[in-house]
Amino acid sequence: MPGPNDLDGAADMLDPKNNPSPIPATGGVAEAMTRVLTAEREAQEAIAAARVEAQRILEQARREARTLLERAERTAGQVHGRTGKLAALREAQLVAAAEAQPACPDPGTVLDEAIARLAVRLTGGGDA
């Protein structure tokens, strides 16, 4: 009769016909653990790859943003320069037009002349 420390019965337990456990005694747990560890490693690799790709996309977006900003600044500078030139040209045109006009008489003189004409009309317009 086998004793409690007798290993002769161990071989019978490894035989799938004698093992009532639903998990196979020969490597089933080890294979399951290997699959879990493999899946975990693959997931970690996928996460690392996604991080690298995200970093690449972020850097590309930053480069594109810098390019866009530089182009916008160049365009704004060009518009500002053209606007300044147009304003200077228009100012010169206005100054030239103003200089071509006859000088405006002194408002006091114009008023004095109008009062004199009115007085002449009211008094009969004569030499009196």
Average pLDDT over residues 99-127: 85
pLDDT in the model for residue 128:
46
pLDDT tens digits, 68-98 = 999 999 999 999 999 999 999 999 999 999 8
pLDDT tens digits, 34-70 = 999 999 999 999 999 999 999 999 999 999 999 999 9
CA 30 to chain centre: 51
**DSSP of 58-109:** HHHHHHHHHHHHHHHHHHHHHHHHHHHHHHHHHHHHHHHHHHHSPPPPPHHH
pLDDT in the model for residue 78:
96
pLDDT in the model for residue 1:
47
Owner of token pair 């866009």: 68
pLDDT in the model for residue 28:
87
pLDDT in the model for residue 99:
87
Q: Which residue did the predictor score with more confidence, 25 or 106?
A: 106
The domain segmentation of the chain, as residue ranges, is: 10-122
